[in-house]
């Protein structure tokens, strides 16, 4: 069988399997198991060893055991709802097999009087006698039962017996695929094949052997296939030839000189990397990643001026109108009247919108700011040369690819994110892009002082913020829940808002997840314009808006947040020149992990270090930005447990790219592991 036929079998519908009709297939599809290949990753969580038999007198109550018995009497009561009972024995004692909802004929067939039968099930004890209720396995052929049975997290409506039967069928028919890895790579995994690795993965005695060669081989396949697809997208974008952007770097120097602050080394390095892409004949597809407050926006705006000086237009998209407006005002301040700048807002009047659309089409606007609406079909640019997207971690790989295509061949793409990602995840999430990283903060930016405070000491916190408000400063007060929960004793934003409003009447604003977008923008604007001194909010204030006058953030139940999320929240303050403070409030009963998180946060302001520590404590599925990143959760690979595999995969991808190696041998791997539309053009 060819590799193509083999992977077609693995990617075929579940109804191809014996015993799997539409009903069972639909139950599995609800659990995102759509193909035979998907079922391979539904791993056993434990196993039951039915290979050893016990005498009746040695049975242990509450355990699953296997016993040889001889049925000697049926007890089928005529009273409804009473169970059917089969009295059984061996040389050491008596045991009853109890059946609910089973017919007499079926029971007589599986437990014939006087015949030796092997039975397996959970042992109970009732009225001084051992019993097994609804035995899972019964057979006169002991070889059928006396084996180790895998136990799976079962989908409702599918029995363990059927699940094992389906998995065994797949393993039995598992195709032997041609090897896709080099001998050098296979040495890392004791030269084990994909076929043998899958076999071992489903053997009962191998449950939980995460450091074995078979497990690591399969985890590596998963990581490597993800890297390959990203590499192919990157290559495809690089093949697009564009007109070089020609600009005068002396103008850039003049602009930088006029700034009232000095760019950091990381900012200059990132700007040079972006410029290099802009003046090349290959399309730029770059991520500018930086910690909160590291100054990404200024780098993007200087690059935008260079593009405009080359005769092209630039579009800057932000996730919210308030952030788009903030970028717009910063650009107006920086560039004075040297270029034509505008803002496309949902609040703009119809005639203004029409004017902006006409002027974009006629090349009368150089730089436009807005939300996703600036990429609607009706918005047409005369000569778009650069798209800048802020807070892009909400875009997955497919969306990024479509975005790159939308701009046309001459349009470069720069994406920005203030979500630091651990190194093992960077290529997994952003491997389709080139990456520039800004780690250092501007010298003028003071580190946020971070304190922990017991919630019983709230009076001390109130005294402190009263003093700050008297000095003209503003406060964020963050709570995790909107309404009181009987199960969780978190404070709610509404309750806290009422509490603070009594102390600071008419000086407190309220913002939570149920606030609609228009009202949210209004509240944030009012806070920005100092109509409130305190803004009580849920975590929706994370996105990078500048509130230069807000220099205090109080975070309640801080032990309930992840490290990265706390760091992002802390980044809402310290954006002006004043000393800023973050107060982490907690209850007295802290877990060791919660104490560890708070200690790390007090010790460092480095978002990259924090994200690494966060991942070690909480696991990669929970770190901020990961869930919205468009990355499918790995089935086996774990960036903490398999850190070495991520680095081996990165090294191998670079080797393949540098040698321009033919990747046709990896086609089956990519088809199996990355069943996304995006690879249809590649494979």
User: How many Å apart are CA 421 and CA 414, to the nearest integer?
Assistant: 18
Got the DSSP string for 283-302?
Answer: --EEEEEE-TTS-HHHHHHH
Contact 139, 50 (CB under 8 A): no
The structure tokens listed for 183 are: 């001998």
Q: What confidence score (pLDDT) does residue 26 get?
A: 87
The HSE-up count of residue 219 (CA atoms within 13 Å, CB side) is 23
Q: Are 625 and 564 in contact (CB under 8 A)?
A: yes
Facing residues of 70 across strands? 89
417-466 pLDDT per residue, tens: 877 777 777 777 777 788 899 988 777 777 888 888 888 899 999 999 99
> Which element (helix H / strand E) includes 628?
none
d(CA 669, CA 672): 5
For residue 54, the cross-strand partners are: 67
- Provide φ and ψ at 579, rounded to 5°: -70, 135
Q: What is the pLDDT of residues 112-171, one digit of tens each?
A: 999 999 898 889 998 889 999 988 778 776 665 555 556 555 566 777 777 778 888 888
**The pLDDT value given to residue 545:** 66
What is the rounded CA–CA span in Å between residue 259 and residue 313? 23
Q: Which of 318, 306, 323, 242 is nearest to 271 (CA)?
A: 306
Dig out the tokens for 362 from the structure.
Answer: 């006629």
pTM of the prediction? 0.71
Quick one: which H or E segment has residue 5?
helix 3-10
* Distance, CA of 49 to CA of 231 (rounded, Å): 45
Q: Decide: 564 and 611 in contact? Cβ < 8 Å.
A: yes
Residue pair 56/130 in contact (Cβ under 8 Å)? The answer is yes
DSSP state of 656: H
Measured between alpha carbons, how far is 589 from 580 in angstroms, rounded to an integer?
28
Place of tokens 């081989």: 217
How far is it, in rounded angstroms, from Cα 230 to Cα 431? 5
What's the CA gap between 306 and 128, in Å, rounded? 89
Residues 193, 186: Cα–Cα separation, whole Å: 8
Distances (CA, A) of 554 to 229, 550, 663: 43, 11, 53
Question: With contact defined as beta carbons under 8 Å apart, do 549 and 526 qualify?
Answer: no
Distance CA 225, CA 229 (A): 6
> What is the b/e burial string over 340-362, where b = at least 16 CB atoms within 10 angstroms of the residue's CB?
ebbbbbeeeeeeebeebbeebee
Query: Which pLDDT does position 648 carry in this prediction?
Result: 94
Q: Of 240, 66, 89, 203, whose CA–CA distance to 142 is shortest?
A: 66
Low-confidence ranges of the chain (pLDDT < 50): 1, 482-490, 621-632, 677-678, 682-683
The kind and range of the H/E element at 214 are helix 213-238
Q: How far apart are the first and last CA of the chain?
A: 20
267-287 per-position pLDDT tens digit: 999 999 999 999 999 989 898
Q: Is 424:639 a contact under the CB 8 Å cutoff?
A: yes
pLDDT reported for residue 628: 42
């Amino acid at each position: 069988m060819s590799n193509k036929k083999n992977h077609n079998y693995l990617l075929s519908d579940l109804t191809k399997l014996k015993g799997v009709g539409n009903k069972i297939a639909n139950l599995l599809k609800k659990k995102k198991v759509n193909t035979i290949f998907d079922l391979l990753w539904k791993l056993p969580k434990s196993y039951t060893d039915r290979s050893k038999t016990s005498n009746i007198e040695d049975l242990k109550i509450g355990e699953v055991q296997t016993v040889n018995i001889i049925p000697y009497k049926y007890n089928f009561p005529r009273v409804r709802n009473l169970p059917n009972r089969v009295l059984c024995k061996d040389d050491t004692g008596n045991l009853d097999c109890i059946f609910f909802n089973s017919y007499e004929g079926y029971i007589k067939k599986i437990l014939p009087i006087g015949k030796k039968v092997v039975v397996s099930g959970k042992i109970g004890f009732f009225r001084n006698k051992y019993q097994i209720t609804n035995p899972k396995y019964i057979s006169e052929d002991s070889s059928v039962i006396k084996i180790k049975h895998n136990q799976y997290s079962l989908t409702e409506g599918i029995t363990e017996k059927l699940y094992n039967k389906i998995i065994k069928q797949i393993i039995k028919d598992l195709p032997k695929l041609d090897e896709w890895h080099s001998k050098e790579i296979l040495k890392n995994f004791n030269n084990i094949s994909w076929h043998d690795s899958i076999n071992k993965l489903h053997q009962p005695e191998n449950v939980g052997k995460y450091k074995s060669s078979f497990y690591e081989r399969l985890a590596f396949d998963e990581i490597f296939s993800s890297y390959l697809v990203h590499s192919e997208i990157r290559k495809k974008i690089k093949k697009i030839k564009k007109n070089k952007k020609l600009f005068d770097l002396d103008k850039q120097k003049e602009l930088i000189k006029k700034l009232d602050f000095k760019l950091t080394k990381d900012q200059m390095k990132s700007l040079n990397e972006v410029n290099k892409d802009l003046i090349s004949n290959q399309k730029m597809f770059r991520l500018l990643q930086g910690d909160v407050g590291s100054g990404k926006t200024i780098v993007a705006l200087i690059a935008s001026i260079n593009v405009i000086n080359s005769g092209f237009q630039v579009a800057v998209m932000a996730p919210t109108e308030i952030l788009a407006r903030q970028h717009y005002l910063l650009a107006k301040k920086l560039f004075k009247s040297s270029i034509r700048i505008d803002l496309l807002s949902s609040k703009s009047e119809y005639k203004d919108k029409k004017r902006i659309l006409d002027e974009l089409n006629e090349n009368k606007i150089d730089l436009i700011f807005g939300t996703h609406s600036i990429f609607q079909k009706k918005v047409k640019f005369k000569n778009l040369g650069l798209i800048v997207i802020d807070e892009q971690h909400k875009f997955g790989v497919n969306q990024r690819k479509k975005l790159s295509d939308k701009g046309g061949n001459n349009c470069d793409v720069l994406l920005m994110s203030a979500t630091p990602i651990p190194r093992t995840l960077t290529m997994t999430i952003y491997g389709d892009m080139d990456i520039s990283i800004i780690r250092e903060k501007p010298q003028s930016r003071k580190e946020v002082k971070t304190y922990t405070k017991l919630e019983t000491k709230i009076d001390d916190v109130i005294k402190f913020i009263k003093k700050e408000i008297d000095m003209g400063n503003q406060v964020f007060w963050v709570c995790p829940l909107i309404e009181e929960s009987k199960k969780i004793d978190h404070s709610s934003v509404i309750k806290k808002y009422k509490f603070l409003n009594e102390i600071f009447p008419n000086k407190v604003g309220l913002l939570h997840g149920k606030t609609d977008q228009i009202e949210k923008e209004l509240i944030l604007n009012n806070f920005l314009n100092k109509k409130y001194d305190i803004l009580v909010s849920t975590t929706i204030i994370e996105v990078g808006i500048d509130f230069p006058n807000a220099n205090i953030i109080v975070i309640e139940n801080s032990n309930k947040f992840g490290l990265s999320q706390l760091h992002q929240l802390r980044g809402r303050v310290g954006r002006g020149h004043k000393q800023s403070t973050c107060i982490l409030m907690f209850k007295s009963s802290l877990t060791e992990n919660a104490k560890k998180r708070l200690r790390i946060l007090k010790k460092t302001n480095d978002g990259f270090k924090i994200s690494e520590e966060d991942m070690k404590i909480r696991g990669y599925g929970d770190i901020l930005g990961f869930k919205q990143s468009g990355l499918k959760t790995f089935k086996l690979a774990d960036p903490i447990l398999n850190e070495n595999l991520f680095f081996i995969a990165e090294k191998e991808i670079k080797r393949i790219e540098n040698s321009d190696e033919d990747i046709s041998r990896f086609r089956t791997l990519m088809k199996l592991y990355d069943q996304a539309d995006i690879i249809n053009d590649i494979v």
